[in-house]
Structure 1
Amino acid sequence: MNAPEFKKLPGVLAFQRGLVITDALFFNVLKDSQTPVMVVRHGIRGTQNVNKDGDAEKSTAANAKRQEVSNIQTTDTAKLEEEAQALAVRFGLRFLDLKDVLFACAPASTDANDLVRNYRDSVTGFIERAKTSPGLDEVAQRFARNIANGRWLWRNRTIARQVEVHVSVNGTPLASFDALATPLNHFDNITDAERQVAAYIADGLRGDDDAGLDIEARLDFGVRGALEVFPSQNYVEDKPRGFARPLYCLGSPERAGSRNGIEFESTRTMGHAALRDQKIGNALRTIDTWYPSYAEHGRPLPVEPNGASLEAQEFFRDRKTSAFEFARRLNTLDPASPEGMFMIASLIRGGVFSGGKE
């Protein structure tokens, strides 16, 4: 018989991500077709943007002390074609059976012999209860809302005048949404169309149906022409001097010109613009309104064990309300409670939960 809660978690404990997700590719919507939006690398001559009242040694500009006005940079840009009527962004998504999310569970040298066996049983028991609980349906509905509202489009959503999101299964249309009219900061008043999408998500998590969702957004920016759009950015440590930003793209870049006379090219195509799957996943799991200060903060957080928010640069969950704490109490958690629903979402997120010393 398992204890109501565990004094510590197994020394090796990890859950794999409970959803399979692709990158989201960008396309120009033309009159009769769609073509890839490409990332192009090029040079620009900008101006210095350094706060001279700040600490020059800590400035983001390596040459903060210099007085030149010009700021010569190499950067990546993604722009629509001149004839594009809109931007299309599409990706695929499938949710896994929750029983398969436990990836590794093994003892540390100081763990009791029966800890791992008992803990595996507690995970299995919690998942079995979750599958028959309305808590799982609530989590699925929250994922569905974040598909519908286009949160996963990030900055592109912010500048769009109109955003339509279309969801299909095996080529058959399932639901369509006016993304800008769908709430971002709460999960009340779930619509019938959102419930349709949520039903597929919940079936996947219960292991009843492994059908994937094909999701496409069409964005109208209210202007026509070579408009800049925004794929993911890449982090590059120790960037070359004068290099501004690299953008995420798929495919192989064009070979650089030889720089000898006519062979030199001032621009270089790097690949097909895209949002990275991790960035989409972060947006879809922005469903945590169960953290203690939600009423004060007023917006959902991405599901993270400690309630970490990059935007606020803050942890919104302390030790007593973290997923690590709830993971010790799986035997007593009600999957329909706020703590239980947060834990369901944490299992979908995946991650390393390995325990330390008692």
Structure 2
Amino acid sequence: MANDTLKTASVLAFERKLDPSDALFYSGNWPEREDVPAWQPVPLREKSVRGTISNRLKTKDQDPAKLDAAIENPNLQTVDVATLPADADTLKVQFTMRVLSGVGEPSACNGADYRDKLIATVNGYVQQHGLGELARRYAANLANGRFLWRNRIGAEQVEVHVAHLKDGQADTVWRFQALEHRLRTLDAPEGEAADLAALSALIESGLTGNAHVLLQVTAFVRMGAGQEVYPSQELILDRGRGDKSKTLYDVDGVAGIHSQKLGNAIRTIDTWYPGAEELGPIAVEPYGSVTTQGKAYRQPKEKQDFYTLLDRWLLKDETPSVPSQHFVMAVLVRGGVFGEAG
């Protein structure tokens, strides 16, 4: 029965439970995957290029004389670029990830009754379903190399090593052939299903607090000697500063991928939204936002967004469908600030 006195807390925040570091890029050769000294950092360098006018023209600019005049003023730009050396054919991408316990326990909440109801609801979910379904999907996105983003496309071979670190040493190491995994269904090939299940169980034990879980993820991507690789691109808010049209991310001179971008790939597990059969998994977001498509797949008017589902579950005691419960829990794992708008 709905509790009419229970209100959403005005201050409500959750810490993320999957905590990746930045990923760093190294170069080497495919046969030397196990040879640590063979791998050298991938630096950034600048390149100045002379482009052409190729943007869509306004109607008033389509006069042939004006277009010829515009083409005489080339599109000059300086960009950052990262490439493998001419004698290395493989990119190594490495990061660590902590798996933290306390899913559903707010880091800040100014309503004691709401907090109690929230924790009781989360505990009920864990007792009935466990966190195995979420853990399996997170593990699949490590094994399939989704976190490589554009670096995964067109690669000849991709091998992902996931090590469980204890006392700074690799206690267990799983090896996955990433290109054999299916990105749309988050399934493993038959020969690697057991390893994926073991990794899933470890991640679940971290989320439930039964084990301390620190993973080291290392991906080897065979791309070809001298090929361009793709670190994160920096967002330059002050366009008046700098004269580069593209600035890439590096850590002390080593090209890398932002931890936020890794986290987005790892939580790309939402196949429970309307239309998922056609589009495949999207990143877990309260409104199902996909910025690259300019679309939100969980519109509030369809009652499938995080806030609607959470309020009905906690305030109205209307238990959502099992897929919607998975989604709500995945948002709590993601973390964020979800208090009542003022």
Q: TM-score, normalised by structure 2?
A: 0.85
CA gap 1:71/1:244 in 2 versus in 1, 3 angstroms: same
1:328 paired with 2:289, answer no
1:25-47 CA distance string (max 9 Å, x none) = 10012455111011112322222
Asked whether 1:341 is paired with 2:331, we answer no
Give the superposition deviation at 1:68: 2.7
2:195 is the alignment partner of 1:212:
no
Change (3 A) 1:83 1:76: same
One-letter code aligned to 1:118: D
CA distance in 2, matches of 1:327, 1:55: 52
**Could you say which residue in structure 2 is the equivalent of 1:166?**
161
Cα RMSD of the aligned pairs, angstroms, is 2.6
Which residue is equivalent to 2:198? 196
CA contact (8 A) 2:104 2:118 kept: no
Unmatched tracts of structure 1, length 5 or more:
57-64, 107-115, 252-270
In the other structure, the counterpart of 1:152 is 147
Shift of residue 6, structure 1, vs aligned partner:
7.6
Q: What is the alpha-carbon distance in structure 1 between the residues aligned to residue 273 and residue 244 of structure 2? A: 40
Q: Residues 187 and 227 from structure 1, CA distance in 2 versus in 1: closer, same or farther, beyond 3 angstroms?
A: closer
Does residue 1:243 correspond to 2:241, yes or no?
Answer: no
3-state secondary structure, aligned to 1:287: coil
Seen in structure 2, the aligned counterparts of structure 1 residues 199 and 55 have a Cα distance that, compared at 3 Å, is farther
Question: How far 1:329 moved relative to its partner?
Answer: 3.5
Deviating more after overlay: 347-356 vs 144-153 = 347-356
What SS does the aligned partner of 2:161 have?
Answer: strand
Residue 189 of structure 1 and its aligned partner are, at CA, apart by 6.2
**Alignment match, 1:110:** none
Residues 78-137 of structure 1, C-alpha deviations (whole Å, 9 max, x = no match): 11122213111011111111257512112xxxxxxxxx1211012211232233343510
2:93 is paired with a residue of what secondary structure?
strand
Are 1:130 and 1:335, in contact at CA under 8 Å, matched by a contact in 2?
no
Give the conservation status (yes or no) of the 8 Å contact 1:123–1:330: no
Seq. identity, %: 35
Shift of residue 8 of structure 1?
4.5
1:238-289 deviation line (CA, Å, top 9, x unaligned): 43585210001111xxxxxxxxxxxxxxxxxxx1100100000000101001
Amino acid at match of 2:276: Y
Give the counterpart letter for 2:291 in structure 1: L
Q: Determine if the alignment matches structure 1 residue 137 to structure 2 residue 132.
A: yes
Measured in 2, the distance between the counterparts of 1:250 and 1:192 equals 36
Q: Do structure 1's residue 102 and structure 2's residue 106 form an aligned pair?
A: yes
Answer yes or no: is 1:118 the counterpart of 2:99: no
Question: Aligned partners of 2:108 and 2:312: how far apart in 1?
Answer: 18
**1:73 alignment partner AA:** Q
Could you tell me the TM-score, scaled by structure 1's length? 0.82
